[in-house]
A and B are shown apart, each in its own frame.
Chain A
């Protein structure tokens, strides 16, 4: 029930294309859903996040779509660029006194070809 399932495991996209990464969860006590971007040898960096009472959030080329009834959320990267090539992790945070403790998805390795 604590798991967050992420797909696909890897994704190859041409420059200018749309990258879509999906995540699903079971625990309805999650109250915050961030996406992190990680480059090799670096720590994860917060990319964008959404609350369950919002269906979509857009920041620049990055958009999160959230479907509360289906318990699914996804990251869309528009106009994908080679510099977006990285590993992306979705995550979910339990509400209450969890002090920000996150449950991570398995990760998606995104490769954007020039």
Chain B
């Protein structure tokens, strides 16, 4: 299957700082990537759709100025959590669809963000 990587796998930061998370499709190109947030023992909540060469599409209730998304190339999307606060602490996961009949999605390993 296709491989999606994320970096870093975990990060601890102070309140008020910004944190950047990278998502890369290693062996395929992805014009679209998805960013999810997951709280403990809960399902994945789609935050936004990252589009290469254009603006991201945010889900209702997600602050676009808080969660900046940049899809710099066909293999890289970044999520920047700006002015992070403790309530932003969560598990962030990206995914990328492999182009095909059903655009099968492959997920990254996730990034654990802890804001102190």
Is A46 touching B43 in the complex (CB atoms < 8 A)?
Answer: no
Interface size range on B against A: 20 to 34
B49 at the interface (CB under 8 A from A): yes
Tell me which residues across on chain B come within 8 A of A44, comparing CB atoms: 44, 93, 107
- CA–CA, A100 and B4, complex, Å: 15
CB-contact partner of A34 in B93, B104, B109, under 8 A: B104
- How many residues belonging to A are interface residues under a CB distance threshold of 8 Å? 24
A58 at the interface (CB under 8 A from B): no
From A11-19, A68-76, A78-86, A103-111, the one touching the partner chain is A103-111
Tell me which residues across on chain A come within 8 A of B105, comparing CB atoms: 34, 46, 100, 102
- CA–CA, A100 and B96, complex, Å: 8
Tell me which residues across on chain A come within 8 A of B43, comparing CB atoms: 89, 104-107
